[in-house]
Structure 1
Amino acid sequence: MTSKFKIEEANRIIPKLIAAYSLDLTEQQRKTIRRRGEPTWTLVLNYDPADKEKVGRWIDFWLFTTGYSPNPRKKVNNLEEIARLNRELVKKQKMHPIYTQNPSELITFRGYTLGQYAVHVNSKGEEKKDYWNPEELGLLDFEIIKKKIVLPPCDKALLEKLSLGEIHSQLKNKYGINMHTRYHNKNNGILKRLYKENQSLINRYNHYAKMKGDIDIRHTWYLSEESKNSITCELKKYFKQIVQHPERIEGAFQRLFQRGHYHGVRHQVGNYLAYWKRTIKEQYPNIFKNLDFPETLNYVRFSEKIYDNFKQFHNACIIASIHFELQKKYAEMKKLKYRTLAKELRQKNEELRNANASRINLIIKESDKKMFVEHNISDIEVKDFIARYPNMNPLLLDD
């Protein structure tokens, strides 16, 4: 479940969420409930200081649940009853399953989509990683895969009883497949297309279910389809301009490397870099020699932050907003200073007179690494922010 609420409504909404979903339980209490096979709930809050429409006004939230599960202490569990309870829970709470093959149900956030990758040891004893594009393969529970209960087979008998419009609806809602208008009757490729989509997923995952040895399935973020399309369009655009403006494609790669470097994203960025390096080298070998490609991809590292109450989270949101405003101000000052220094460098140094912008910026960056340094936010800055955003006043919140 995902939604949002206004900050001034926190006093009304947060206590209701805590009471309805027992969000104030200790970790030990949560473990006890899960051992009984009953669901536990987790609330995730997000405040984005970079969103002009939401800063000082809105907070996004997600509610996750473990759902009903078999009780490990029971010798026999009624799996049909557990499945029924989970279906009722999903319907009642209007939830989407995390594990799904429907692209519209995948978890997306700021241009990223949650997916998986597999780590296993091959016959030579080498560790191998396989990456699964979530928008192609979905997100599957590997415990189900190991039991070989993968996807339900296509029910051809049922489909033959449905109208064409009902078939299209079934395909879209259950499998996330949008059919083209050229499939004008039920026997002209629809069943074949559905069977092909279904079988490709089954074969892909059953390959891992049959493998010997330990396989570690991990979750990671991938670039969403929209982000990938945007990156591809930008790189194609600057590739056409590479003879006149080689610095533009350098800038595009710099921006690509600045994205969140989650494990799945690192794999995708590596694929982009390899493809475009090869293409540029083949078509423009002389330009390729002088291009400055980024080399370092850092991992995203973060620690889970758990707040004792909403007021602590609220205060952290204020500090994050002020930091973002300062960083934006510093970025504008930095751009202005870089422009002035670049002009001076070109005038004083003959070798740099015709150098591209990327090389000039690199020289300035190396000589002036500590141009701006973050500082601790003062009480005056906090008061100024609250004056501009009265809804963020901590005094309006209950303890």
Structure 2
Amino acid sequence: MTDWKEIPGGITAAKGFQAAGIAAGLKPSGAKDLALIWSETEAIAAGVFTTSVVRAACVDYCRQKIQTKTSTRAILCNAGQANAATGAQGWQDALDCAESVATYLNIPPGSVLLASTGVIGKRIRMEQLQQGIPSLVAALSPDGNETASRAIMTTDLVPKSIALETTIDDRPVRIGGIAKGSGMIHPNMATMLAFVTCDAMISTQLWQEMLSRAAQKSFNQITVDGDTSTNDSLIALANGQSRTPTITELHKDGQKLEAMLTAVCQHLAKAIARDGEGATCLIEVEVSGASDENSALQVARTIAGSSLVKSAIFGRDPNWGRIAAAAGRAGVSFHQEDLRIKLGDFLMMDNGQPLPYDRQKASDYLKAKSQGAYLQDDTVHISLCLGNGSGTGRAWGCDLSYDYVKINAEYTT
């Protein structure tokens, strides 16, 4: 049983936040492509970003701003052009984006954080973006979650948002979030953007520590295709508008807040994996019995990211040998005679020994999960036990279909 409940509102559920999304002409399709998240009061910011050495200008910009620990008031996100690998002019474009938003919000440019998504090597269409800023600011609303979540999408099929509420010191505390991502998704951050808002009062250092741990158990545990990107950004704002006492350490209230933050991030992460390009089902891998948590997480990631496992699931082939092989190459030591593997309710290996099972029914289990995305239960469950250790971990992915190749073969054409 959790200490929180799901509520409507997404990114604007937390007190004192507004959002908006508009079509500014950045996408040739004419779809919404410019989003703004706005805190009515000063907020602290934390962030986790791509580890790629080829980074978008917005990533370096946000890293600099967050490290200064100055207050943040807004996040501007454009979709259509990644502004990655665009050199000095791309950096200037980022600065100009922040300046434009700051002017219309009447705040310092340093209070604006940035994110971009789209084609790598393409600069932002600055004329269209700057012309759209006045309308974007005018559209800010406490009900702006839907438009903002759609404006950050690229190849996503659906918007992704969540909001949860708990009680701290007899006052409601809320965390909301939106995310985008569908392809170029792999652990160690992925081609994804995620934004989180919170109305708790918390120290800057602890907020960053919480977000980093939450990312490790959520966004760094998803994979679609094994490719990471130049623009990955997870940015979280907290403005203290719940008027709860300041949380400065991981006592009871801090633990409750971090657990809720992790739940928000995991929900968004699974939504990204479920929406993988060409995917027909979500894959959840649960590992237990490892020597420690990191080992369990590593094995789970490796299985979820295996092209052979993903292809077998798309083909409705219950080939558990591919699962065993992926676990064995994960770089984690365990005794194969202890290995136990289940696909759904089908026990396929126990104590390192293969077991008889109904192959047709196991195939039917996989087929049932792929009868269209976003069903009540479209998740293929894979569980492994490696031994008697205390380490557990989960990872999420999706199957690998013909459509993935088609989507990415034609991405820029």
Alignment TM-score, normalising by the size of structure 2: 0.23
Q: Tell me the TM-score normalised to structure 1 length.
A: 0.23
Which structure: larger Rg?
1
Identify the structure with bigger relative contact order (alpha carbons < 8 Å, sequence gap 6+): 2
More strand by share: 2
